[in-house]
Chains A and B, each alone.
Chain A
Amino acid sequence: MLKPSAAYTDDTERRLAELTSPEAMRRQREALARLRASMTTPATEEETLEWREFMKDLETKRPTFR
């Protein structure tokens, strides 16, 4: 059975305050606006093919740290 993990969540309130601050929300809006703008420039067919290979590799070869 999983042991109680309350001891591992003590810092949650501080982290939440940082992650949801107005400054963090502003940075998120900026980052998402850049993504939105990039969507208007389509990738080439070659880049798309390379990207598919990249994602296939990313999803099948996760690090194991062994």
Chain B
Amino acid sequence: MLLLLLDSNILGRMVRPEIEENRPVVSALIRLGDMGFRILVPEIIDYELRRKLLHLAFHPRQPRRWAKVALDHLEGLGAAGYVALTTDTLRLAAELWADSRAQGQSRDHEDGLDVDVILAAQARQNGAYIVTSNEKHFQGMAPIFDWRPYQP
């Protein structure tokens, strides 16, 4: 059984299936789930997405109802499959970060490197693949799964 870890650029679309431009990726991942693939929410990506949805859903002056609905979808997906961070995850991530720096990779997205290496560490620890639209960020760190052939 293949385990798929969703990056924020994919999970962010999954929790808004009402948006027309998100439907190709949502449909593809529903299809993959129907085929028996495990669709998993990594804790670091849950954090990255949840904090911004919470900010909008409970904004004191202009709360967005759509953000509350998106949070409900995030809860559902997380309850179905959540990959928690562990001490070992962060230690492996530290190795990946140092190795990436030593090889001079990923300099063009330094600000995102921390999240990328933590997600890559979660994938490596669980024998999982990352589903992302930023494939090059994970080059040499973790395997990528291409969802595009599964679009309707």
Q: Which residues of A contact B (CB under 8 A)?
A: 1-3, 5, 7-12, 15-16, 19-20, 24-25, 27-32, 34-36, 38-39, 41-43, 47-48, 50-51, 54-55, 57-59, 61-65
Least Cβ–Cβ distance between B38 and chain A, in angstroms: 6
Query: Taking CB as reference atom, which chain A residue is nearest B72?
Result: A34
Q: A28-B81, A36-B30, A58-B49 are in contact. Are A51 and B8 (CB under 8 A)?
A: no
The 8 A CB mask of B49-80 against A (1 = contact, 0 = none) is 10010001000000010100100010011011
How far apart sit A2 and B126, CA to CA, in the bound complex (Å)? 18
Instruction: Tell me if B130 is interfacial: C-beta within 8 Å of chain A.
Output: no
Query: Which A residues are CB-close (under 8 A) to B121?
Result: 8
Q: Say whether A3 contacts B95, CB under 8 Å.
A: yes
Q: Say whether A5 contacts B92, CB under 8 Å.
A: yes
- Main secondary structure on chain A at its contact with chain B? helix
Q: A39-B23, A63-B114 are in contact. Are A24 and B81 (CB under 8 A)?
A: yes
Instruction: Tell me if B144 is interfacial: C-beta within 8 Å of chain A.
Output: no
Residues of B in contact, count (CB < 8 Å): 58
- The interface centre, meaning the residue of A15, A41, A50 with most chain B CB atoms within 10 A of its CB, is A15
Instruction: Tell me if B14 is interfacial: C-beta within 8 Å of chain A.
Output: yes
Q: Say whether A34 contacts B20, CB under 8 Å.
A: no
Least Cβ–Cβ distance between B83 and chain A, in angstroms: 7
Q: Say whether B81 contacts A15, CB under 8 Å.
A: no
Query: Which B residues are CB-close (under 8 A) to A50?
Result: 64, 66
Q: Say whether B1 contacts A27, CB under 8 Å.
A: no
The 8 A CB mask of B5-28 against A (1 = contact, 0 = none) is 000110011101111110100110
Least Cβ–Cβ distance between B37 and chain A, in angstroms: 9
A-B residue pairs, 6 tightest by C-beta: A62-B112, A31-B76, A27-B80, A28-B80, A43-B18, A31-B80
